[in-house]
Amino acid sequence: MKSLWQESEASKCKDELDMRVYTSRLLGSDPALVLHGGGNTSVKIRETDITGKEQDILYVKGSGWDLATIERPGFAPVKMDHLLALAKLDSLSDPQMVNELKTHVTVASAPTPSVEAILHAILPFKFVDHTHADSIVTVTNTPGGKEKIKEIYGDSVVVVDYIMPGFDLARQCARQFAEEAHEKTVGMVLLNHGIFSFADTAKESYELMIELVTRAEDYIKSKNAWVVSENVQQVEVSPIRKELAQVRRDVSKAAGKSMLLCSDRSSKAMEFIARGDISKISQQGPATPDHVIRTKRLPMLGRDVDKYVKDYKAFFDKNSKNTKEPVTMLDPAPRVILDPELGLLGVGTSANDANIVLELYDHTIDVISRASKLGEFCALPAKDIFDVEYWDLEQAKLRKGGRPPEFAGEVALVTGAASGIGKACCEALLAKGAAVIGMDISPDVETVFDRADFIGVVGDVGDEEQVINALEIGVRAFGGLDMLVLNAGIFPGGCALSELDLKTWRKVMSINLDGNVALLREAHPILKNSPKGGRVVFIASKNVLAPGPGAAAYSASKAALTQLARIAALEWGKDNIRINVLHPDAVYDTGLWTEEVLEARAKHYGMSVADYKARNVLKAEVTSKDVANLCAEMCGQLFAKTTGVQIAIDGGNERVI
């Protein structure tokens, strides 16, 4: 592990808190040290309050902040004298401790201080760094891990047996540090948890962390236990979208809500899953208790969700008997799935959560594989894992949680997603919490949104193979499909029927109709497995209800598409899939309405372009966003008992009315 310190960057820091931000970000930038909100850093600063009184303040990382992106407001300023007084108490419950921390910050808007604030306070150094370094967790999760740590560091670190984070850990660390630390002490290792470094300058504390972790890495390498997999390429397999959708349905049922499944089929993941001892080695527990809130105690092997739920309930029943306060069982659905065909699956109510699970377990694979080569992987006992998962502070967070977005844990596919109505539909669905698969013939679809819950797939809806490919890619990304928006289409320039050539006719029919037939057919078994029931919205046209001259191919294709929707509504109702149709008109902020097309349509009506744009009853401008918002609503609870309907969104058309 190499130091990332750059004097040129450090010189830009204006004060000690700036320096604290800088080195915290250096630590957070390396996932082998810190993952997704893990780790803690602090700095002690002497300040003068508004009355002129000087006091020592501990600036410690606040709850909800990530070291990789932390800024000055991410550090909570807590009064040192109170923290040191708390450290001398004989007992303090964790809820009481959090209350004391929150009520003794000097800035009302500060985040809740880390539960390790007291621990940081009792260490007699200005800067304190704490990480969950993979190499440290690897060594301590083996038989004789404590002895191995002493072999690596000698007496230069204080070694503390595992205690759950909180007041008891801080008190034990204070006791051991007072008894064992000496002038050459440079760190502290918390078994099965992580490592601390400390110094009077940010640079020294940071570089001590790098040095200490490097020594652990070198130890693992010296035992020929470092290499996990030399090949991390994606492994190709036959289509798995139907199987993924079925597993997602079962997991969502167990969770009592829709869940996403994000997949990793790299050779590293597949090699781990294929291990002959996978049924033993993966069932020991997580690499560190810090991961259990997101990954649960154990991954699910294979696809038997019912068995996993049964085992989880037994785990809960056994360990909840001895809790101080009654606890309610969390949803028993797995968060990690290991399947020899489907690969490593991360489960979450959002794509971001599911991807975090994948990353955490990717590091767990490293820890388990290396620990096995050092002798054996040994996680903490189940009771310790349970205590973290059902920690009263975590329970309080869950009780405090707000109402999730309407489409949380759900997946939508939108065709023609790179622009116009399609892009607006993606935005509307994303805003309601859905993960979205966008398909478009334009390469722009790959970059139209830069976020974890969107994947853009280049493809022509008129090409059956490309339609199937888009579905496969999308389902592998998110686990299934709940909503389908058939939006892609073309509107050729105005052409009289007497002049319409078959080439143009066939092209329009291929894109506006034929491609949708293939997509509907292939999407059906996946929509059928939607936890809340599938939904399809057809974006047709006012021309179905009131066709105009010069648009024979377009009008006929959209009329046929509407008839297709009616048949689908009749056939798929038994599968709990509802089908509805939108007929937009006068939506001019789309790619279909080029200046050429506008001029041609206006000419057919004997109007100017300006008059043509304002030809609805309400004289209202209908935008892509208007259509998209109605489309999203039709996928939601408001239309839960509606199928087979056609709704015009056109500002009012006299011929339709």
Q: Which residues are catalytic?
A: 554
CA distance to 35, 96, 222, 570, per residue, from 215 (Å): 20, 38, 10, 67
CA distance to 107, 420, 432, 439, per residue, from 488 (Å): 53, 10, 22, 9
Q: What pairs with residue 261 in β-bridges?
A: 347
Q: What pairs with residue 61 in β-bridges?
A: 75
Q: Please, what is the angle between helix 241-255 and helix 305-319, to 10°?
A: 30
Region at 194 (left for phi over 0; alpha for psi -120 to 50; beta for the rest)? left
* 300: CB partners within 8 A, 6+ apart: 308, 334, 336, 337, 338
Q: Which of 486, 545, 534, 549 is nearest to 514 (CA)?
A: 486
**Distance separating alpha carbons of residues 4 and 92, to the nearest angstrom:** 39
* 35: CB partners within 8 A, 6+ apart: 132, 359, 360, 363
Cβ–Cβ under 8 Å, residues 107 and 48: no
**Distance separating alpha carbons of residues 83 and 80, to the nearest angstrom:** 5
SS (H, E, C) 25-56: HHHHCCCCCCCCCCCEEEEEEEEECCCCCEEE
- The half-sphere exposure of 291 on its side-chain side, counting CA atoms within 13 A, is 32
Radius of gyration of the chain, Cα coordinates, nearest whole angstrom: 30
